[in-house]
Structure 1
């Protein structure tokens, strides 16, 4: 009997083929998970581009607005400059040297004019005509006189808008009166403090020179400390202390914060005004000097001021510093404490200047 010895080849296991096939399909899946899907990329890119575009648009709009604003300011300055030159019709031919006055404009003083638009302004203050101020004071009636000083007479007046004001009519005594006017206008349009009297406006109409200040209903410290016989007002100690502090802050502002620093040069009770709440404000800057006038740290100048309030070194040598005001402040403090004037001509000669040895 013949035996068949041919071996039938073994077929590969079915499960092995299935495993290989599965492995060959799983390889691409593993590689695909290493890269972000396209949808995720779009979610990030689109908002980023939108934000950048929005920022760029905002920057462009801001730049255009700034350019337009700068152009408008340039046109405004050129227009005001040309109109100011056209309105100059006084002091244009003056040959006075005003080197001692800070920041004095050459040619025409502050664009004053006989012909002007209503409520014209310069550096925030109003420019008045003489007729307006004449109406405000009832033609400068003596009944409206509230003060009389070395530089002029002060009237109480009511402006066209109803504002009560103190109107000072300056005496035109040569160069000094004109200089005082220029200095006060220049300083008080630049310097603003709660402790300085506010300049509301001025008038430089033809040969008239007037200054318009806020009205201080309680008058000067001088009138409060030394009332007349029919006035029996006495300042209490709290009020005197507040006045002393207000005056100290005024001098601190002038000496430390004004640029250039300002020396008042005539600090005394008659130049200290009191408002409705008896708060003090310093006034009368007609004699003021600035540190820009210094030579070797001092200001050499002719001695001007009020006897009794002058610092000894200033009175003897004419050299002026901020310490001169501080000395005057010390004299005013003594007057606040004692109620006595520093130089009393009614007293015996040896006791006339009783305050000199105390300051």
Structure 2
């Protein structure tokens, strides 16, 4: 059959157009298939990681060893070396039994019973963890550990597990109102970089440490706390008479404002009281309009029971520990990237330092020692010393 020139041109155009449409269709199908396959592969990896995570059993460092190894320093040396730390003198190391005597055989975390409420009320793809805590209590340490080991699967699906920032995966450097800022400032203050963050989507990881060791640390570096203590530290009292005791007041400058405290030990008591009531005061906890879930975490557990502690924090938000790589410890000082901080204490040094029993009176003068015990026993309404299994130093 013969066509005229115009008819032939029209047929060629139709054929070319048809083939082009077929080609584009095939291309889109292939691209779509590849994209779907890629998404399925990515999601399967996340599910695989989640499945692997839940099949792991994380138990206490102490409970995994028999009675003989609990008193063997080589066991501790091997644990530290497996974590990537350097050990040069095993004789300086503690035994696991010594650690258990000081802090118990497993982590103590307050607030785990409220994790389900957090997961039920915060969309999975919006959940985040953020550090909070008084100065020198391990806020940097908990942040580094979470960023290296934990992520929220739904946020990974949203931003990409391999390409997302740690914050996009749910691990913030601090709570939006500032990690050292008291809890009561949550509503009325936000740091410069957190103005647009929904504060109710953050689970605060509140670090705490023995008040006696904390006061020793504050004597070395008081941060923004100010009180007269040039010749005596912590210099809790000006007049030591128990009948007419006069405390030595402390002023602290936060990013949100200035607060005054009765003494240095009361700074510890009153600062943590604001977070403790969110966990331990039933009336406050039941008022969901003003309360919110928090975790209170011992700094000592981040040192001695690291993996178990971080795993429980991570799981509280519905997060998972990376399954495709070994758990990553903070071997060097967690403060090495924070100017003005002591960077001399790495993992091995921390095990040695914090496993030593407190010296008599914590090295304080008798007046401060007695005043500190009195305040911690009577002014701490939640009894955090007992709940967290901390001990007063011996008198002599």
* TM-score, normalised relative to structure 2: 0.28
Which structure has the larger Rg?
Answer: 1
* TM-score, normalised relative to structure 1: 0.30
Relative contact order: is structure 1 or structure 2 higher (C-alpha 8 Å, sep ≥ 6)?
2
Q: Which has the higher helix share?
A: 2
